[in-house]
A and B are shown apart, each in its own frame.
Chain A
Amino acid sequence: MVDNAWIAAALTAARPQALSALLRYFRDLDRAEEAFQEASLRAIRSWPDKGSPRDTIAWLIFVGRNCGVDAVRKTRRNVALPGEDRLSDLDDAEVDIAERLDGAHYRDDILRLLFMCCHPQLQLNQQIALALRIVAGIPLSRIARVFLVSDAAMEQRITRAKAAIAQHRVPFDPPDANERLGRLGAVALMLYLVFNEGYSRGHSEPAAAELCDEAIRLARLLLRLFPTEPEIMGLLALMLLQHGRHAARTDANGELVLLEDQQRSRWDGVMLAEGRALVDKALRHGAPGTYQVQAAIAAQHARAPSAAETDWAAIDRLYQSLEAIHPSPVVTLNRAVAVAKSQGPAAALALIAPLADKLDGYFYFHGVCGGLLLQLGDIAGARLAFNRAIALAGSPAEAAHIRLHLDRLAMPDGTPGLLARN
């Protein structure tokens, strides 16, 4: 943080608030972005000498607003821009404006900006790219790298997404309580999808792993705006508890390492501590939701000193409450893994047997079945299930993982594998 790196950090941190306030003022995304850009340039020029203003966000909104208005005037009447000194001398104005900007305004502004990015008209990839570009302010080339496309292709994707949201305007009136809650839910899901994009690809692509950091940053911002929403606490906790295991998720060869085989000393203790604290905080509200319960499950893993010391009965109970909130065969399948650990493979197989039709096309289902059958000593049944899993594998890594278990089956001592280790 030597030189002026602190300015860059301050500008990145201020961006969501400042940009969304400028958007409310100009009601035009491009103009708001230009105004923020111009204000940032002026900050880079004047802050090194004058020091940072007391309220950086208010400064950026004020200067951005002036720059934006000047830009409009300039295009309309071609009048010269005012001198730098007029805009830089903001000490009094800044205090004044800071007092007028209250938290409630910020809250709806930022929520609106995020909500625009998750418009249902946009494809998931577009939503993620737009949120990263507009809200997080990540340079286009870096987003292109994350999605493995050229800069030009990414620029086109973002331009199209912007055109789509321009046609479907999000109203600028303050939303009522119901509308606000609806927006919050959509935004939370979008942030979780940003996170998942990074989580599912991050082990093999370092550029994608950055998405997890950005999603965490935006979720923290959202929680700061809605500090008493247990589901937002749960969302942030879930991200922290999953990402906290990042370094342990791959071995020296870049292969995925199962949770139970991970070296727990490589987990990020600080991230996991924050996640666990947030889970505790959320559950005190007595209003469980899917993010909270998933986070609580991840917290059970985080608190276990070793895989063998995991409280599987507690995880089983948490999966049961997840089934109650959000019934789904995939949730039951995950619960079966906890049941296998706490009650044995036969109970787990009985639990998932009724799901065979629904999950027949699901790689993980056959992988779990194979592991359970193997534990019960049904080698032929296990081989059948593993073969079916390989046929359905979504990535070479998944297929390779199952193949490993098949190879072990071929060995005389048949070392138990996938999800079957006690």
Chain B
Amino acid sequence: MLYAVLCYNDENAVATWTKEEDDACMARLAQVENGMKAKGKLGPVARLLPTTSATTLRKTSGEPLIIDGPFAETKEQFLGFFVADCETLDEAIAFAKDLAKANPGGGAYEIRPLALYHPSEMD
């Protein structure tokens, strides 16, 4: 069984960490990751850039709406994610629009650049 572990915290507070504090935290997390990696059980790991860099595509009955900022609704739940290598935000939005067409109805896609990405280490 594959599990995703999603990380939540106050990004305001995390942004006030010094470089040393941030590096130290990442190093401690890497140690934990390494334990899983050694067993061939670690999938992809990603850290997202702050929500201020996010754009949200909101599905509508017609052309989807593009909104500045992160996904902020509480009545919808986090269901899945994609990682894509895009040269520009427009390219990422085009990808999300295609996803929306393939998966019509309600909901939204939040488009957020990554700060860090390690591909899967799973066997």
Q: Give A residues with C-beta under 8 Å from B.
A: 1, 5-6, 9-10, 12-14, 56, 217, 220-221, 223-224, 227-228, 233, 236, 270, 273-274, 277-278, 280-281, 284
Contacts and interface: CB of A to CB of B under 8 A. Distances in A.
A109 to B, nearest CB: 15
Nearest to A16: B12
Given A13-B12, A227-B68, A280 B52 contact: no
Say which size band chain B's interface belongs to.
Answer: 20 to 34
Interface of B: 10, 12-17, 21, 24-25, 49-53, 55, 66, 68-69, 88-90, 113-116
A228 B55 CA distance: 10
A220 B24 CA distance: 23
Nearest to A268: B19
14 contacts: A9-B16, A9-B17, A10-B13, A13-B10, A14-B12, A56-B13, A221-B12, A224-B12, A233-B68, A270-B49, A270-B115, A274-B49, A284-B89, A284-B90
Given A273-B113, A274-B53, A284-B66, 5 more contacts: A1-B21, A12-B13, A220-B52, A273-B114, A274-B49
Contacts of A13: 10, 12-13, 15-16
B17 A1 contact: yes
B15, B17, B68, B114, most chain A CB atoms within 10 A:
B68
Contacts of A14: 12-13
Given A220-B52, A227-B69, A280-B90, A274 B113 contact: yes
A10 B16 CA distance: 8
A380 to B, nearest CB: 46
A416 B53 CA distance: 41
B49 A277 contact: yes
A302 to B, nearest CB: 13
Given A1-B24, A224-B52, A277 B113 contact: yes
Contacts of B12: 13-14, 221, 224
Contacts of A10: 10, 13
Given A1-B17, A9-B16, A13-B15, A277 B10 contact: no
Nearest to B112: A277
A281 B115 contact: no
Contact of B89 (A9, A223, A277): A277
Contacts of A6: 13
B28 to A, nearest CB: 8
A12 B13 CA distance: 7
A273 B89 CA distance: 11
Given A277-B89, A280-B88, A12 B50 contact: no
Given A13-B13, A281-B55, A281-B89, A274 B66 contact: no
B53 A277 contact: yes
Nearest to B17: A9
Q: What 10 pairs between A and B have smallest CB-CB spacing?
A: A280-B89, A13-B12, A13-B13, A227-B69, A277-B113, A228-B68, A12-B16, A277-B53, A223-B52, A270-B115
Contact of A220 (B13, B50, B113, B115): B50
A56, A233, A284, most chain B CB atoms within 10 A:
A284
Nearest to B25: A1
Nearest to B93: A284
Nearest to B24: A1
Nearest to A282: B68
Contacts of B90: 280, 284
Nearest to A303: B87
Given A220-B15, A281-B55, A273 B115 contact: yes
B45 to A, nearest CB: 15
A284 B53 CA distance: 13
Contact of A274 (B13, B50, B88): B50
A247 to B, nearest CB: 11
B113 to A, nearest CB: 4
B16 A274 contact: no
Contacts of B15: 13, 217, 220
A374 to B, nearest CB: 36
A26 to B, nearest CB: 23
A270 B15 CA distance: 13
A12 B90 CA distance: 35
B117 to A, nearest CB: 11
B98 to A, nearest CB: 18
A280 B69 CA distance: 13
A116 B50 CA distance: 27
A97 B55 CA distance: 30
Given A9-B17, A13-B10, A280-B90, A270 B68 contact: no
Contacts of B116: 270
A13 B13 CA distance: 5
Nearest to B72: A227
